[in-house]
């Protein structure tokens, strides 16, 4: 009997080259979110296929394993093997990536922001990789947000109304709100809905998708129609380094080849196409209103003033957390945004083209020894 089992096991190993391993991915984002329903399953399918079933991922969504802040410790300690990582939640641990995410990219081009952020994080920011290395983690698959806007319980149409307003915010929108005189609150996205419901905050900065995903539209039905900029990267695939080092080189390359699809699918299908569809649905079916600014030039002047100051603010933040020469990766980001702004015009909303371009321009150039 034992010989029969041994023979069966050897046949299984011979068929695949190695025994299949299943790894755990913990997502603190609601289970219904696009990253969990579509983007990650496609990434994991690609890894499974390219490794001939040797590497398989199990997705556990909805914060069952860890919340947004706790994700980093959970990956570091091996409670889960990978997760979605928002560096702005832990700027003391990942100050370089948090500094990138804290920059407001003006306008409404998530594709350019995601492309540039991936390029800088993976190729031009040694401190980004050093910081993740110190946490026993490996980053890839960064994506960008849709343009941030002000989502409020009551209509906000003038800049002077921001004085003393209680606003939940993080990253660049937090700095913009503070510059305008608002009283900012930093809590998780999930906790924000109860504050909006109880009146603990007047507004949150956020994207249109969150009206539905987190239920903000049930309690905050006034969206000021002005872009506070796009932010990137949220790291879609942050992998435990011990797990990563246990992969063969071919298995590592399978993950690098799949990562652009996470960036492309989630950025375009969710934060461009999906967010627009969610806004339209919330307006049509949930009483949400797009509120036009009374004096658009005042809002633009506020944004211009912030953009003039944000580089200095970013350098100060990074330096205060011990980052050496943050100017280097900030310069690289400025150059990459110009480059990806042009590429974005060619990509449009073509997910395949975006993923292929990310592979050609970024992930095919990653030196595995630097991760």
Percent of the chain whose pLDDT exceeds 70 = 95
Same domain, 328 and 260: yes
> Can you give 141-172 as a three-state secondary structure string?
EEECCCCCEEEECCCCCCHHHHCCCEEECCHH
- Mean pLDDT in the chain? 94
Torsional sign, CA 187, 191, 193, 194: negative
95 inside domain:
no
- Residue recorded with tokens 């299943």: 22
What domain count does the chain have? Answer: 2
Q: Give the domain extent around 171.
A: 149-229+287-303
Among the candidates 250, 271, 303, a domain finishes at 303
60 shares its domain with 121: yes
- Please report whether residue 7 resides in a domain: no
Comparing 11-20, 227-236, 289-298, 360-369, the range with the smallest average pLDDT is: 11-20
Q: Are residues 56 and 165 in the same domain?
A: no
Residues 83 and 120 in one domain: yes
pLDDT digits (tens, 9 = 90+) for 244-270: 999 999 999 999 999 999 999 999 999
Identify the pLDDT of residue 129: 98
Q: What is the pLDDT of residue 19?
A: 81
**What is the arithmetic mean of pLDDT over 315-343?**
97
Which residue, 38, 37, 33, 58, is CA-closest to 48? 58
CATH number for 267: 3.40.190.170
Pair (272, 126) in one structural domain: yes
128 and 160 together in one domain: no
Q: What is the pLDDT of residue 3?
A: 32
Q: Clarify whether residues 70 and 191 are in a common domain.
A: no
* pLDDT band of 120, cuts 50, 70, 90: very high
| Separation of alpha carbons 219 and 359, rounded Å | 41
Does 61 share its domain with 161? no
Q: What pLDDT is stored for residue 190 in this prediction? A: 87
In a domain, 258, yes or no: yes
Residue 44 CB partners (closer than 8 Å, separation 6+): 25, 56, 57, 59, 258
Q: Are both 51 and 119 inside the same structural domain?
A: yes
Q: Is the pLDDT of residue 6 over 50?
A: no
Whether 56 maps to a domain, the answer reads yes
Q: How far apart are CA 230 and CA 107, in angstroms?
A: 7
End position of a domain, from candidates 255, 271, 303: 303
Q: Is residue 96 domain-resident?
A: no
Confidence of residue 18 (pLDDT cuts 50, 70, 90): low
Per-residue pLDDT band for 11 (boundaries 50, 70, 90) equals: very low
* 229's tokens: 């900029």
Domain membership of residue 210 (yes or no) is: yes
**Domain with 218 in it: what CATH number?**
3.40.190.10
* pLDDT tens digits along 77-89: 999 999 999 999 9
Question: Considering the domain boundaries, does residue 2 fall inside one?
Answer: no
Which pLDDT band holds residue 9 (cuts at 50, 70, 90)?
very low
Tokens of 231: 């932010």
59 lies in a domain?
yes
| Mean pLDDT of all residues in 155-170 | 97
Mapped onto helix, strand or coil, the DSSP state of residue 147 is coil
* Same domain flag for 158 and 239: no
> Domain check: are 329 and 357 in the same one?
yes
Q: Residues 41, 77: one domain? A: yes
**278-307 pLDDT per residue, tens:** 999 999 999 999 999 999 999 999 999 999
């Amino acid at each position: 009997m034992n010989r029969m089992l041994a023979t069966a096991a050897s046949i299984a190993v011979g068929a695949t080259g190695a025994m299949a391993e299943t790894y755990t991915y913990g997502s603190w984002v609601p289970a219904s979110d696009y990253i969990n329903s579509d983007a990650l399953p496609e990434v994991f399918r690609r890894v499974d296929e390219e490794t001939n079933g040797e590497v398989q991922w199990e997705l556990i969504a909805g914060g069952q394993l860890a919340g947004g802040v706790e994700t980093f410790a959970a990956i570091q300690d091996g409670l889960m093997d990978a997760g979605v990582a928002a560096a702005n939640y832990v700027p003391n641990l990942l100050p370089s990536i948090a500094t990138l995410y804290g920059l407001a990219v003006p306008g409404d081009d998530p594709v350019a922001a995601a492309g540039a952020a991936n390029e800088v994080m993976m190729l031009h920011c040694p401190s980004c990789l050093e910081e993740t290395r110190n946490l026993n983690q490996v980053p890839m698959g960064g994506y960008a947000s849709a343009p941030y806007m002000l989502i409020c319980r009551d209509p906000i149409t003038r800049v002077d109304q921001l004085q003393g307003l209680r606003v939940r915010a993080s990253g660049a929108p937090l700095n913009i709100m503070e510059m305008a005189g608002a009283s900012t609150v930093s809590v998780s996205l999930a906790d924000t809905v109860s504050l909006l419901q109880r009146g603990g905050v007047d507004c949150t900065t956020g994207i249109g998708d969150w009206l539905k995903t987190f239920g903000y539209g049930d309690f905050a039905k006034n969206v000021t129609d002005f872009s506070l900029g796009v932010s990137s990267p949220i790291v879609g695939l942050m992998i435990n380094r011990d797990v990563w080092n246990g992969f063969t080189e071919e298995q590592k390359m399978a993950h690098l080849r799949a990562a652009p699809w996470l960036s492309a699918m989630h950025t375009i299908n969710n934060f461009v196409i999906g967010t627009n569809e969610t806004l339209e649905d919330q307006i049509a079916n949930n009483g949400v209103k797009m509120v036009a600014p009374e004096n658009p030039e005042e809002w633009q002047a506020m944004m211009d003033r912030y953009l003039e100051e944000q580089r200095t603010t970013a350098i100060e933040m990074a330096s205060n957390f011990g980052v050496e020469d943050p100017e280097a990766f900030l310069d690289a980001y400025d150059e990459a945004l110009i480059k990806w702004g042009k590429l974005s015009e060619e990509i449009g909303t073509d997910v395949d083209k975006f993923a292929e371009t990310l592979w050609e321009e970024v992930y095919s150039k990653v030196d595995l020894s630097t991760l």
